[in-house]
Structure 1
Amino acid sequence: MARIVVVGAGVGGLATAARLAATGHQVTVLERAGTVGGKLGRYVRDTPAGAFHFDTGPSLLTLPDVFHDLFEATGAKLDEYLDLAPVDPIVRHVFPGGGPALDSCADPAEFAARIGAAFGDRAAADWQRLWRRAARVWQASHRDILRRPIDSPLDLAALAWRLGDLAAIGPGRTLRGLGRRHLSDPRLRMLLDRYATYTGADPRRAPAALVAVPYAELTFGGWYLRGGLGTLADALLTRCLDLGVVVRTDATVTRIDAAGGRVHGVRLRGVTAPIPADVVVANVDALTLYRDLLPSPRRLTGLTDRSLAGFVLLLGLTGDSGLAHHNVFFPGDYDAEFDAVFGHPGRGVRARPAADPTVFVTVADDPVVRPAGHEAWFVLVNAPRHGTATGAVDWRRPGLAEAYADRVLDVLAERGVDVRDRLVFREVRTPADLDDATGAPGGSIYGTAGGLLRPANRGPAHGLWLVGGSSHPGGGLPMVTLSAQIVADDIGPAW
């Protein structure tokens, strides 16, 4: 039985802790915040009409089998803890210039029919050809990448790729290029580009292999957890406690002791004596780990290429908007948005808030999260990370956040959804706020900007592992949960 310390109580940390405790290890989780969940945050606002509840992080659960596997591996059933509800449409896409919206769903034939009805038979046929390619990419990724350690580019190169898999993955090709090659309708290209932002990347630079992301979502479906996705953190915490895991909040780890090339424990702020450990699992951003907790300048290479961040409005509204659960309102010029969000550091062009951004609106039809006759809106806009570098924005600059919140509401009104006269309240969350709340450097949602190769799960010292969205296999609830499985399997059982 190993003494294991997990640094961070995000979904990856809690999932790893539960798996390791179920196999006989002595596990302690240390979390800097006062609550668990990490980026799976929550906010409650009381009003005379009643309480509004918001998820401030992920708003959609995909690949539900990953979570069923997690709970079964720890001796429980997912349905005993969480109430999953399928979402249809998964996303309602509203395109510039008017015209029909497009509702996505988890039935490929039905989705192709919806594309045909909205955009014509040629667009539907284009999508079906792309879909066959996406299936090959998904199968290769799921088989060879998502459930196994990938420690270096050599590991990827050494995989026994089938020739058909390599042709589908298209090494060196971008997601934007893939869309231009296969999709004649600009609205479908825009839809495909959006999935690069699921990994925090620019579709003009993101690898074509990310076509596996829409395939997974639109094959296995999108799901909502009644009561909000934050209930997943509650369920994982309960599972950990039932398995004997010690969970300490308000416990900030300041350093990992790794003298002699192996871990010995961690040090806490305000505590003199170190906490001994045979194994440390770091559920923190890889940049934070290698810059602050285990200073390793060599490992910082590539980690400063940060993913995009998010600017968020939490809106309490009167009435009923008639929107779907998830809605995307696209801009007239998608490239202008990416130019703004990422900037061009090499040319000295600073990042800035996009003037005409894509706006994501989540409206849960769940009486638990809003008073009767009201709606609780989570509004997200792609945004540059917080900071003073060329590729960042100082979101603490006086007046900026409120002015941009006004702009986002104006953009919604321009796109036919004017809620300014229905506001009960609004709360603003900037990338700087996410940095403060979760320790995500600059508020970057996914760590490094998207790609197939993330920081490895095995750390540079014996007994050190990385888990979570900034390490392999990437960000998003299912990927983070798969990273926990990879790490727990690598550490192995106590017996």
Structure 2
Amino acid sequence: MIGAGMGAMAAAARLAVAGHRVTVYERTETYGGAVRRFERDGFRFDTGPGLLTLPAVYRDLFVKTGREPLEDRVELVQVDPSARHVFADGTEVSLPNASRAGVVAALDEALGAGAGERWGDFLVRAREAWDRTRRPLLEEPLWPNWQVLAGKEPYPGTTYKRLLGRRRVVKLFEVGRRELRDPRLAQLLDGYALAYGVDPGTAPASAAVLPYMEHAFGTWYVRGGVRKLADAVYERCRERRVEFVFGAEVTRILEKDGRAAGVELSTSAVAEADFVVGQGPWRLGGLTGRQVYGAGAVGPEPEDRYPGRVVVCLALRGAREPGAVHRTVVHAADDEGDLDLFRHGLLPDLPTTLVDRPDDPALRPDGEHESVVLTATVPSATEYDWAAPGAADAFADRMAAAAERAVPGLRERVLWREVRTPLDTERETGAAGGAVPPPALAAPEGVLHPANSTAMPGLFAVGGWSHPGGGLPHAGMSGALVAGLIVEGPEFRGSQ
């Protein structure tokens, strides 16, 4: 196993239970991939995902690898409201967790009669897109005839007049403009795509499944921080006798009789294996010296075509005020600014910023302080020079200015801050430019990642850059698919 990301560890635990001897070679000194933690002076911060959707993926992992509920290892807390949204015109709305009726009522009250109904109708259509794509896109290996997933748009968009005829909604921006018909609702929708690193200006309408997942299955916080989930998966691997070797960089995948036969490390040490599982499909070719995806397959693309993230960890003086919500989304004053980061690699003046304020004593030194994390989607390090003097701090200042719309007096409370850019992501995960993988989306112009199996027998790809894409739940699904393909062979068709 090359790399100790969440998908790789999920595969390792499942393979170990199936009787395989598994060794994981990780070039850094820790596990978890992008699920990291920064600690200083009694403050603790999640620098990767701050919340968990689809916890059923990890519940399944723990049941299948030990007949033990996930909740025996970590405490899951349903976040309510799922998020508060602050718009440029000063409008605010808090959306209840996993309650369509509650969301409809909240939007009607905040945005005006009819807004909630339009969003509710949108969620009904989003559910149809989810039902059409859930299994083939998330729970099964990528089909050899994957072109089926890139065929008809699965979102049942409405039609509208255009010139002399009618056109069906097939793009996310059309959903906002034609179906939601309120710039704030459109920004609400765009924000979900932006958080996943998907361009709202070009995304297919099937990206509607992203807000649907949160509304249907809830948004969850892992008490102690999401890093605790990585700790739990790592410990499960260790209990199943998975061996981890940290500080071990794989420089070559060995081949024997046309199949993967092991790895060579930077120290020239060699480890033989019956199967090799790697992360980052577009790097596997360099490690093998050959094409690992055949003609007609979904091929790997350079990772830095996707954006990255800036994360600002804030150590604050003063207690968290009563009634503060866990997550606030502060929407950009100019939504064109967010789109420019995709079009031209430009930074928005006041970016859409996620403000995470967990009410968790484990993350702060005492009750008179608070730890806050700000997150914004930005160009990768190959699109923008994050190493330029002052670049990171200047953008962190913009994020703090945006966040102050949600936390009045924020900047006066700051004791210190830690700014993490795509350069940190690149160092920790190896992703080119510090890019973050988006989830797979079925549509003619959707997002599909390379299959978990490759053209080289015995070589498999796992994690966010392979099928079914990025995000904590998707990484767990990727691990399950790889384990199934190795244990059951090419006839494996996914969990039943």
Same fold (TM over 0.5): yes
Q: Deviation string for 1:419-460 (max 9, x for gaps)?
A: 121111101101111111221110101169973411111122
Specify the alignment match of 1:442 in structure 2: 433
**How much does 1:312 deviate?**
1.3
RMSD of the TM alignment (CA)? 2.5
Contact preservation (8 Å) 2:303, 2:433: no
**How much does 1:410 deviate?**
2.9
Question: Where do 1:25-174 residues align within 5 Å?
Answer: 25-46=20-41, 51-75=42-66, 76-151=68-143, 154-157=145-148, 167=156, 173-174=170-171
- Alignment of 1:289 with 2:272, yes or no, is no
Contact preservation (8 Å) 2:293, 2:455: no
Q: Deviation string for 1:111-162 (max 9, x for gaps)?
A: 111111111221111112111101111112223221001155x334189x9x
- For 1:172 and 1:165, locate their aligned partners in 2 and report how far apart those are by CA, in whole Å: 11
Specify the alignment match of 1:312 in structure 2: 311
TM-score by length of 1: 0.89
Write the letter of the residue equivalent to 1:43.
Answer: F
Note closer, same or farther for the CA distance 1:304–1:66 as it changes in structure 2 (3 Å cut).
closer
Contact preservation (8 Å) 1:256, 1:263: yes
**How much does 1:297 deviate?**
9.3
Write the letter of the residue equivalent to 1:470.
Answer: W
**How much does 1:84 deviate?**
0.6
- For 1:289 and 1:172, locate their aligned partners in 2 and report how far apart those are by CA, in whole Å: 38
Q: 1:431 aligns with which of 422, 425, 432?
A: 422
Note closer, same or farther for the CA distance 1:205–1:493 as it changes in structure 2 (3 Å cut).
same
Specify the alignment match of 1:360 in structure 2: 354
Contact preservation (8 Å) 2:310, 2:421: yes
- For 2:261 and 2:301, locate their aligned partners in 1 and report how far apart those are by CA, in whole Å: 27
Moved more, 480-489 or 176-185: 176-185
Question: Where do 1:80-479 residues align within 5 Å?
Answer: 80-151=72-143, 154-157=145-148, 167=156, 173-258=170-255, 260-270=257-267, 272-282=268-278, 284-291=279-286, 294=289, 296=291, 302-303=301-302, 306-322=305-321, 323-339=324-340, 341-344=341-344, 351-371=345-365, 372-387=367-382, 392-413=383-404, 417-446=408-437, 451-479=446-474
Moved more, 439-448 or 310-319: 439-448
Note closer, same or farther for the CA distance 1:317–1:251 as it changes in structure 2 (3 Å cut).
same
TM-score by length of 2: 0.89
SS in 2 for 1:68: helix
Write the letter of the residue equivalent to 1:144.
Answer: P
SS in 1 for 2:408: coil
- For 1:469 and 1:221, locate their aligned partners in 2 and report how far apart those are by CA, in whole Å: 21
Write the letter of the residue equivalent to 2:318.
Answer: G
Contact preservation (8 Å) 1:151, 1:457: no
Note closer, same or farther for the CA distance 1:104–1:181 as it changes in structure 2 (3 Å cut).
farther
Write the letter of the residue equivalent to 1:263.
Answer: A
Note closer, same or farther for the CA distance 1:185–1:310 as it changes in structure 2 (3 Å cut).
same
Q: 1:491 aligns with which of 474, 482, 486?
A: 486
Write the letter of the residue equivalent to 1:306.
Answer: R
Write the letter of the residue equivalent to 1:84.
Answer: L
Among all aligned residue pairs of Structure 1 and Structure 2, give the percentage whose two residues are the same amino acid: 39
**How much does 1:406 deviate?**
2.4
Write the letter of the residue equivalent to 2:174.
Answer: G
**How much does 1:292 deviate?**
5.0
Moved more, 320-329 or 457-466: 320-329
Q: 2:17 aligns with which of 6, 17, 22?
A: 22
Q: Deviation string for 1:215-255 (max 9, x for gaps)?
A: 11111101111111101111111111111111111111112
**How much does 1:405 deviate?**
2.0
- For 1:166 and 1:56, locate their aligned partners in 2 and report how far apart those are by CA, in whole Å: 33
**How much does 1:343 deviate?**
3.4
Contact preservation (8 Å) 2:126, 2:155: no
**How much does 1:166 deviate?**
6.5
Contact preservation (8 Å) 1:90, 1:104: yes
Note closer, same or farther for the CA distance 1:237–1:412 as it changes in structure 2 (3 Å cut).
closer
Moved more, 307-316 or 288-297: 288-297
Q: Deviation string for 1:56-78 (max 9, x for gaps)?
A: 10001111111111111102321
**Structure 1 residue ranges without an equivalent (≥5):** 1-5, 345-350
Contact preservation (8 Å) 1:291, 1:297: no
Note closer, same or farther for the CA distance 1:140–1:158 as it changes in structure 2 (3 Å cut).
closer
SS in 2 for 1:236: helix
**How much does 1:317 deviate?**
0.1
SS in 1 for 2:138: coil
Q: How many residues align?
A: 469
**Structure 2 residue ranges without an equivalent (≥5):** 160-167, 490-496
- For 2:465 and 2:256, locate their aligned partners in 1 and report how far apart those are by CA, in whole Å: 25
Contact preservation (8 Å) 2:440, 2:467: no
Note closer, same or farther for the CA distance 1:176–1:84 as it changes in structure 2 (3 Å cut).
same
Contact preservation (8 Å) 1:146, 1:473: yes
**How much does 1:294 deviate?**
4.9
Note closer, same or farther for the CA distance 1:207–1:260 as it changes in structure 2 (3 Å cut).
farther
Note closer, same or farther for the CA distance 1:182–1:359 as it changes in structure 2 (3 Å cut).
same
Note closer, same or farther for the CA distance 1:294–1:486 as it changes in structure 2 (3 Å cut).
farther
- For 1:369 and 1:416, locate their aligned partners in 2 and report how far apart those are by CA, in whole Å: 18
Contact preservation (8 Å) 1:146, 1:482: yes
Write the letter of the residue equivalent to 1:221.
Answer: G
SS in 2 for 1:67: helix
SS in 2 for 1:386: coil
Contact preservation (8 Å) 1:11, 1:477: yes
